[in-house]
Amino acid sequence: KIQDENGCSFIIGEYIDKGSFSKVYALECCLTRRRLAGKFISKEKLQRHGISNAVWNEIGIHRRLRHKNIVQFLTYIELGSHIIIVLEYCSRYSMVHIIHALKTLTASEAKHFMIQVVSAVEYLHSNKIVHRDIKLGNLFVDKQFAVKLGDFGFAIAIKYEGQKRFSRCGTSYYIAPEVINGIGYSYEVDVWALGCILHTMLEGTPPFQGPNTTTTYNNIIRCQYRPSSRINYSAQTLINSRSQLGIHLK
């Protein structure tokens, strides 16, 4: 059993998933019996990689977000070796599982999901937040096929108009060329990821691939991918528009 600073107690349940610096377990609120999720972040791992402040940045950003398509932040608990972020429990399943099961989506199915994802991203950008790691694995899907964007470990706040960031982060299949080239980036990296996600939904594979990360990055920089004959013209045009440098989501 664990307890937050307000005296709310939680029972730790079964293991759900893991990331580079964290493990996720089911939690149960002792007061309401509500099922929640706990992201257990290792302080030692953060220190080892020189990013001890990253978790506080994640908490500071995530705790102020309120949107139906974003995983809700509830509280956090600091223990000796871990910091635990308590979140709403969405589902064990992400868009990765959906694509794995169905291989590809129809245009109408992809539209259903993308409308929700774009709504979440529009909300973030209107609040001057860049997610920087939008990918299928961070899009959680419930039994009603509602989508929630999660994992704000790489998220940043834009402090002034025109501010650029230069640190390289994200996931190789979804990373934007501005990030790879180190020329500076902002909101457009999230929009690039949306195009990659839409292509993957319709085609079943990411648009930019290679036998290794270097080849994948080279393909991204050259915007080199093979358009599919199975994707209709409107969808292909939309994907292409998301795969150009300097595109911003307004």
Q: Is 17 a catalytic residue?
A: no
More confident residue, 65 or 248: 65
* Separation of alpha carbons 95 and 164, rounded Å: 30
**pTM recorded for the entire structure:** 0.89
What is the pLDDT confidence band of residue 91, given thresholds at 50, 70 and 90? confident
**How much is the pLDDT for 237?**
61
Q: Which domains does the chain have, with CATH numbers?
A: 2-88 (3.30.200.20), 95-242 (1.10.510.10)
The angle at the Cα of 243, spanning 240 to 248, to the nearest 5 degrees, equals 110
Note the pLDDT tens digit of each residue in 11-45. Answer: 999 999 988 889 999 999 999 999 999 999 999 99
Note the pLDDT tens digit of each residue in 155-201. Answer: 999 999 999 999 999 999 999 999 999 999 999 999 999 999 999 99
> Of residues 133, 142, 151, 190, which has the active-site annotation?
133
Is 75:36 a contact under the CB 8 Å cutoff?
A: no
What is the pLDDT confidence band of residue 125, given thresholds at 50, 70 and 90? very high
